[in-house]
Amino acid sequence: MGLRGVNRVMIAVHDLEKAKILYSDLLGATFHDAHWTGEPFGIAVSIAWDAGIELCAPLPGREQDSAVSAFLAHRGEGVMNVFFGVDDGDAAMERAAAHGFGCVHSLDYTQEEIDAHLGGFFRRYQEFMIDSAERCGFAISLARIDEKADG
């Protein structure tokens, strides 16, 4: 499976713009909005690849029913998901399944989607969110994210 370590942490917040300023000031992080990835789930998304942080907040009008609303209501702002980088997403998901973890949501972006929405930074972007919250206390995602070679 080739574990690469932590790729990023997803932090649920109430106010995305305020959180972006906080983490930019604190860490010098540079955020890239990726709202299109969260719109189907009622969330606004911004990612700082340089800091390993993904911020997510309910979209306006979706404060009660977004994918982060229940988390915010029960726990408040904080780490909601940890993304672990892997060399082979399919093999990593097979390993997780063999240990009783199911897949809650998966995605595998085309190069056109990567170029249009993720700044063209990557040549492969695949994620599997597994049902780990009950057993681990938080969500875990397995992510194969291959950067484009320089030059």
Q: What is the pLDDT of residues 29-40, one digit of tens each?
A: 999 998 888 888
pTM of the model: 0.91
- Give CA separation, 106 vs 19, 33, 40, 125, 127, in Å: 26, 20, 13, 11, 5
Tell me the CATH number at 97.
Answer: 3.10.180.10
Mean pLDDT (the chain, rounded) = 93
pLDDT of residue 151 exceeding 60, the answer is no
Q: What is the mean pLDDT of residues 103-107?
A: 93
For 54-91, what is each residue's pLDDT tens digit?
999 999 999 999 999 999 999 999 999 999 999 999 99
Residue 27 has pLDDT above 70, yes or no: yes
Number of domains in the chain: 1
pLDDT at 34: 87
What pLDDT shows up at residue 1? 67
Greatest CA separation for the chain:
46
For 91-106, b/e burial (b = at least 16 CB within 10 A) is: ebbeebeeeebeeeee
Instruction: Give residue 47's domain range.
Output: 3-147
Q: Residue 66's closest CA among 50, 94, 42, 45?
A: 42
pLDDT digits (tens, 9 = 90+) for 42-58: 999 999 999 999 999 99
pLDDT at site 118:
80
